[in-house]
Amino acid sequence: MQKNRKSILSTRVLNPPLITEAKEAGVIVDEISFIETEAVQSVEVQQEIKEAYLQTATVVFTSMNAVHAVSAWQNGQQPYWDIYCIGNATKQLIIENFGEHSVAGTANSAAELAELIVKESDTDEVIFFCGNQRREELPSILKNSGIGINEIVVYETIVIPNKVEKNYDGILFFSPSAVDSFFQTNTVSAQTILFAIGLTTAAAIKKYTTNQIIISSEPGKENLFRTMMEHFGE
């Protein structure tokens, strides 16, 4: 006898095989985006990125969006960068574009990444490629440790506050920005379980509701999906 089907909302588009896998396990996933990102196209930012390629530097990426925006101006160059990043998906994208040798360290959160840089790197300045909605944890820790930051905003986050008309058993959140966008126009029932990709996203959820929150053990879209499936799936 088949279990009652569970209805899940993902606030970000997932890979089609994951949707199929969930359906086969009796979990129906709707996908509605609540944010989108756009690379900054200004001449000033383009020039900053191109100048960074010419430097020997310690570089920080906290999202795949930033890697995409920066690698768009690579033009075959392999810069002398020691790169620190968050999460395996971002790491793999960095390896594809800049080579495995360029990865100096990874962590599961911005705060952990900053602590790693302070501990392992002897640099006195980093180049931080980020978005316009970046969190304060990493810059704050680095500055307090005497490490300067050349912050280059390479992409912008645009809010899409869609209205949701149905109740879900669970909702997947992948960023604090998506949380803020969702709760601009929506509420959740007391029974809905909220899944967060990390601690900062969970903290954003707590601003709006006291519902149960389950946090993924590792960052990444698929990891959050797996966390939900372990809870609801077969």
Residue 147: CATH number of its domain: 3.40.50.10090
pTM for this entry: 0.83
Is residue 1 predicted with pLDDT exceeding 50?
A: no
Is residue 149 predicted with pLDDT exceeding 80?
A: yes
Q: How far apart are the first and last CA of the chain?
A: 13
Asked if the structure places residue 1 within a domain, the reply is no
Residue ending a domain, among 110, 138, 157, is: 157
Confidence bin at 227 (pLDDT 50/70/90)? very high
Asked if the structure places residue 78 within a domain, the reply is yes
Is residue 95 predicted with pLDDT exceeding 70?
A: yes
Number of domains the chain is built from: 2
Assess whether 129 and 184 both reside in one domain.
no
Which residues are within 8 A (CB) of 135 and not within 5 positions of it... i.e. 6 or more apart?
A: 62, 110, 176, 200
Identify the DSSP state of 23.
H
pLDDT recorded at residue 3: 57
Domain range enclosing 69: 38-157
Percent of the chain with pLDDT over 70: 98
Assess whether 49 and 148 both reside in one domain.
yes
Is residue 124 predicted with pLDDT exceeding 80?
A: yes
Is residue 88 predicted with pLDDT exceeding 90?
A: no
Residue ending a domain, among 117, 138, 157, is: 157
Assess whether 45 and 141 both reside in one domain.
yes
Assess whether 142 and 65 both reside in one domain.
yes
pLDDT recorded at residue 135: 84
pLDDT recorded at residue 105: 96
Assess whether 105 and 126 both reside in one domain.
yes
Assess whether 15 and 60 both reside in one domain.
no
**Contact yes or no for 167/143 (Cβ under 8 A):** no
pLDDT recorded at residue 221: 86
Identify the DSSP state of 61.
E
Is residue 234 predicted with pLDDT exceeding 70?
A: no
14-60 pLDDT tens trace: 999 999 999 999 999 999 999 999 999 999 999 999 999 999 999 99
Is residue 200 predicted with pLDDT exceeding 90?
A: no
Question: Rounded mean pLDDT of 80-97?
Answer: 94
Asked if the structure places residue 195 within a domain, the reply is yes
Assess whether 219 and 121 both reside in one domain.
no
Assess whether 141 and 197 both reside in one domain.
no
Question: Rounded mean pLDDT of 160-176?
Answer: 94
Percent of the chain with pLDDT over 90: 83
Assess whether 49 and 121 both reside in one domain.
yes
User: Of 79-83, 108-112, 127-131, 185-189, where does mean pLDDT reach its minimum?
Assistant: 108-112
Question: Rounded mean pLDDT of 80-86?
Answer: 96
Mean per-residue pLDDT of the chain? 93
What DSSP string runs through 90-156?
HHHHHHHHH-GGGEEEEESSHHHHHHHHHHH---SEEEEEEETT--SHHHHHHHHTT-EEEEEEEEE
Confidence bin at 148 (pLDDT 50/70/90)? very high
Question: Rounded mean pLDDT of 181-197?
Answer: 96
Asked if the structure places residue 96 within a domain, the reply is yes
Residue ending a domain, among 110, 129, 157, is: 157
Question: Rounded mean pLDDT of 98-116?
Answer: 94
Angstrom distance (rounded) from CA 229 to CA 23: 11
Question: Rounded mean pLDDT of 105-110?
Answer: 90
Assess whether 19 and 93 both reside in one domain.
no
How many CB atoms sit inside 10 A of residue 145's CB?
12
